Amino acid sequence: MTVFSPAGCQASTVGCRLWTEPQMPILSMNGDFVIGGIFSIHSYMTSEQNTYTTMQLRFARALEFIIHEINNSTDLLPGITLGYHIYDSCSAVPMSVKVAFQNYATDQSSNLSCREMFYMCSVITKSGYSSIVSCCFPTLSELQVSHSATCACLSDKRQFPAFYRTIPSDQHQAAALARMVKYFGWTWIGAVRSDTDYGNYGMAAFLKAAQEEGICVEYSEAYYRTQPRRKLERVANVIRRSTARVIVAFLASSDMRFLLEELARQPLPPLQWIGSEAWITHPEFLRFNMCAGAIGFGNPRSVIPGLREFLLDLSPERALKSPLLTEFWESAFSCTLKGRMGVQNCDGSEDIRTLQNPYTDTSQLRITNLVYKATYAIAHAIHAAICNNVLCDKTIKFTPWQLKRVNFTTKNGYQLTFDSNGDPVAVYELINWQFKENGALDFVPVGYYDSSKPRGQEFRMSSAISWLGGQTEVPVSVCSESCPPGTRKAVQKGRPVCCYDCVPCAEGEISNKTDSLDCLHCPPEFWPSTKQDSCLPKPVEFLSWDDTLAIILTVFSIIGVFMTICVIAVFFKHRASPIVRANNSELSFLLLFSLTLCFLCSLTFVGRPSEWSCMLRHTAFGITFVLCISCVLGKTVVVLMAFRATLPGNNVMKWFGPPQQRLSVLVFTLIQVIICVLWLKMSPPFPFKNLKLYKQKIILECDLGSSIGFWAVLGYIGFEAILCFVLAFLARKLPDNFNEAKFITFSMLIFCAVWITFIPAYVSSPGKFTVAVEIFAILASSFGLIICIFAPKCFIIVFRPEQNTKKYLMCKIPTKAL
């Protein structure tokens, strides 16, 4: 896999020649099998500028070390010598392609077997361009094993049959990044990518994964370092003006460098950077404090035994043997080994162990370890193809497909296998940029991602993260603040789904979690809380004993019972007096008893309705009132009959004596009993939760069951009351100092007036007031009866005893009208 810089790469004095000249290896050694390595040792931005990359040199020398280690092994490829040809691509795609085709053509012209040359095209700068180079020569028969080409497109074995890699595909990295962004609750992000296959394919995979995770992207910008500066400025301005506080950068390291330098020109709002593996572990960017707190997935750190000693085993004498190492030595110590004019000569006191640069720094061996695994993968594949237990036959033909069967563990403990696409298992370290005690930024592993783990367990945190500015709290990056419980999200028209308004739930609805898409209706017997975040049981309303209205009505009921008992006591004490005996004392006592029941039956309407109380209250009311009116009707008929009996030759009283009076009361009452029994048998009243009358509470009431039964009971009472009123009205002017008929007329007038007004009041009264109206009607009509019929008699008995005589009652003693 090769990486390239701008097309302006010029010829170097060491590694790069003009495009028309054959490219020579910068480091080489012959062997039975030759591994070709393409590294970006030099990077040229303009014809005047020369950038020497010490990290890339470390990768190239690591390949040297690994091949020497394999050659010295007695277990791997015994008797076989591996060689290497290492080339400098000058960070340019054309140079990398040229090297590949140049050596392929050389192999063909010299009749070398294809097995003798294997290419490990590499990108040490992790810029991502190696993906492009690998795509440039898919038809070459040479085996290609890359340690840095991450493009998911390279997994297509139809286009790239001989391609393998030791670095995971960007498909895994994109999924891991999306999972991480979701993990930290960021739903509103910006995205920047390199305008190359690496950036475009990687970002496309990330955006797809992000969409599946419910993440919205405010902007997605692309940039490549050779594009006009105005494009870079435009991308920087988009980042500055955006509302997203998290930015995912799928950029090659060289593109990232340009972007950060441009952003540093003007003040930048605090941003949480999410980096791809191409730059998140690049030490050059640690100088940008604006990236403090950056996180991203990098290849795991490792230790390669013996590598540091190999790299530091370099003296001026050994450096002079290689133009590449000579350039490195002179660049590192700012002196010359060849006596160039105007430059201080190296005096031999230079010590490479004192250098602090990427070449000598082996604390972050990430890409180097991938080079290590790639080289060993080729060696193991060759070994499996041409060697038995003790001998190797280099005449046996080796094909690239045999690399699929590789399965081994390196000396530093890493296992390597390839899947059917030539990809390894994706394992990443989560890297966080944290400040050290001296104020400098450093790479700190804080978690990992392992694609071999079950879904949901791939991503794990191992230590605390330091966010932007050294904060310990996770920064917030959302288009709209979370909608609290009690509201729902309403997407803003023309904007991503992450941009929404929080709309309160409608009446009767709730949302019990944050960011609800819809509100839920409460069950019928529940009602939302004040915040509409939970359903609470609706309060149940009925005329309870502790209700003020119920207490008042109960007091009047008890007063009525007390009055009735007092009347009974007075009547019983004076039961032999003429005024008590005047109109069938039995009916009077029975009437008083029925009035007591009427006052008491009103109490059955108070309290929580139950099945028995619902049946009792209406039937008791109907029967006691009919008994009461039947007694009054009997007394009214007695008055009419008594005056008719005074006419000569009229013996009507013998037909309506006490037995007939008792029988009439019994018959009238029995009819009501039959009506009530039929009502209770066919469709009795029952407790009913009325959910329709009020939205916020339940009215517990007695459903009539059969409205016909109820109105039949009430209608029969009304029929008797009207009949009694008519008869009493006819008898009101009969001669008598105490004509009971006129008092009965008044009592029936009150009774009828109360129950006529009761009907509309009963129908229109809501909730517990319906019951209160019914109780009021019972009490009012009962008080009307006892006051109108018995109050005058009690007054005479107690305060006018002289009028309690038979002569007075028969109008034989003149007196003033009462």
pLDDT tens profile 275-291: 999 999 988 899 999 99
With a CB cutoff of 8 Å and minimum separation 6, the contacts of 73 are: none
Mean pLDDT of all residues in 717-726: 85
Using the predicted structure, report yes or no on whether residue 715 has a pLDDT greater than 70: yes
Highest mean pLDDT among 2-6, 389-393, 612-616: 612-616
Please give the residue that has the higher pLDDT: either 91 or 413.
413
pLDDT for res 112: 40
> What's the pLDDT score for residue 793?
82
User: Which backbone phi and psi does 528 adopt, to 5 degrees?
Assistant: -60, 150
Q: Return the top range by mean pLDDT from 35-49, 599-613, 654-668, 727-741.
A: 599-613
Q: What angle do CA 807, 811, 814 make, to 5 degrees?
A: 100
Q: How many Cα atoms are found within 13 Å in the side-chain-facing hemisphere of 12?
A: 28
Over residues 207-217, the mean pLDDT reads 92
Q: Which two tokens stand for residue 394?
A: 């280099």
What is the predicted pLDDT for the residue at 649?
52
For 192-201, the pLDDT digits (tens) are 999 988 899 9
- Average pLDDT on 338-342 reads 77
pLDDT at 126 over 60: no
What DSSP designation does 393 have?
-
Angstrom distance (rounded) from CA 460 to CA 428:
11
Which residues, other chains included, contact 72 with Cβ-Cβ below 8 Å and sequence gap of 6+? none
- Residue 130 confidence (pLDDT) above 80: no
Q: Is there a contact between 710 and 618 (Cβ–Cβ < 8 Å)?
A: yes
Q: Residue 39 pLDDT > 90, yes or no?
A: no
Q: Give the torsion sign (CA, 713, 719, 720, 721).
A: positive
Mean pLDDT score of the chain: 82
Query: Of the given ranges (3-12, 248-257, 377-386), which has the lowest mean pLDDT?
Result: 3-12
* Residue 725, φ and ψ in degrees, nearest 5: -65, -45
Pick the more confident residue, 332 or 104. 332
Place of tokens 């840095």: 148
Range 23-54 burial, b when 16+ CB lie within 10 A, else e: bebbbbbebbbbbbbbbbbbbbbeeeebebbb
pLDDT confidence band for 656 (50 / 70 / 90): low
- What's the distance, Cα to Cα, between the start and end of the chain in Å? 127
pLDDT computed for residue 119 by the predictor: 42
* Alpha-helical segments (H) within 731-767: 740-764
| Least-confidence region, from 347-361, 489-503, 525-539, 752-766 | 752-766
Q: What gap in Å lies between CA 97 and CA 105, rounded to an integer?
A: 12
- Which pLDDT belongs to residue 125? 30
Q: What is the pLDDT of residues 472-512, one digit of tens each?
A: 788 898 888 888 999 999 988 888 888 999 999 998 899 98
Residue 580 has pLDDT above 70, yes or no: yes
Q: Is the pLDDT of residue 148 over 60?
A: yes
Q: Sorting pLDDT into bands at 50, 70 and 90, what band is 804?
A: low
Residue 155 confidence (pLDDT) above 50: yes
pLDDT level of residue 120 (50, 70, 90 thresholds): very low
Q: What is the predicted pLDDT for the residue at 143?
A: 74
DSSP type of residue 266: S
- 262 in Cβ contact with 232 (< 8 Å): yes
Among the ranges given (445-459, 585-599, 634-648), the one the predictor scored with the smallest mean pLDDT: 634-648
- The pLDDT of 511-529, averaged and rounded, is 90
Of the listed ranges 571-575, 589-593, 659-663, the least confidently predicted one is 659-663
Stretch 52-78: mean pLDDT: 88
- Between 141 and 693, the higher pLDDT residue: 693
Q: What is the mean pLDDT of residues 746-775?
A: 80
Distances (CA, A) of 495 to 208, 492, 501: 18, 6, 11
pLDDT, residue 157, reads 83
- pLDDT beyond 60 at 141: no
Q: Is the pLDDT of residue 168 over 60?
A: yes
Has residue 66 got a pLDDT over 80?
Answer: yes
Task: Count Cβ atoms below 10 Å from residue 487 Cβ, excluding itself.
Answer: 21
Q: How far apart are CA 385 and CA 404, in angstroms?
A: 12
Where does residue 517 fall: left (phi above 0), alpha (psi -120 to 50 degrees), or beta otherwise?
alpha
- Which pLDDT value is given to residue 142? 63
CA 161 – CA 142 distance, rounded (Å):
10
Dihedral (Cα; 399, 402, 404, 406), 10-degree rounding? -130
**3-state SS assignment for residue 428:** strand
Q: Are 109 and 98 in contact (CB under 8 A)?
A: no
State the average pLDDT over residues 73-80. Answer: 89
pLDDT: which is higher, 736 or 755: 755
pLDDT given at position 348: 83
Give the per-residue pLDDT at 11.
35
Average pLDDT over residues 11-29: 61
More confident residue, 497 or 221: 221
Half-sphere exposure of 260 (CA within 13 A, CB side): 23
Q: Give the model's pLDDT for residue 372.
A: 93
Q: 757 falls in which pLDDT band (50, 70, 90)?
A: confident
Distances (CA, A) of 515 to 486, 498, 502, 639: 10, 10, 8, 82
* pLDDT score for 651: 54
Each residue's pLDDT tens digit, 668-705: 889 989 999 999 888 888 888 888 888 888 888 888 88
pLDDT for position 424 = 92
Q: pLDDT over 90 for what percent of the chain?
A: 25
Task: Give mean pLDDT, residues 134-146.
Answer: 60
**pLDDT at residue 235 tops 90:** yes
Lowest mean pLDDT among 127-141, 527-541, 714-728, 740-754: 127-141
DSSP for 451-496, written as a single string = TTSPTTSSEEE-S----GGG-SSPP---SSPPPPTTEEEEEPTTS-
Q: What is the pLDDT of residue 105?
A: 53
The phi-psi region of residue 574 (left if phi > 0; otherwise alpha if psi is between -120 and 50; otherwise beta) is alpha
Nearest to 152 by CA among 134, 126, 125, 139: 134
Distance CA 196, CA 203 (A): 10
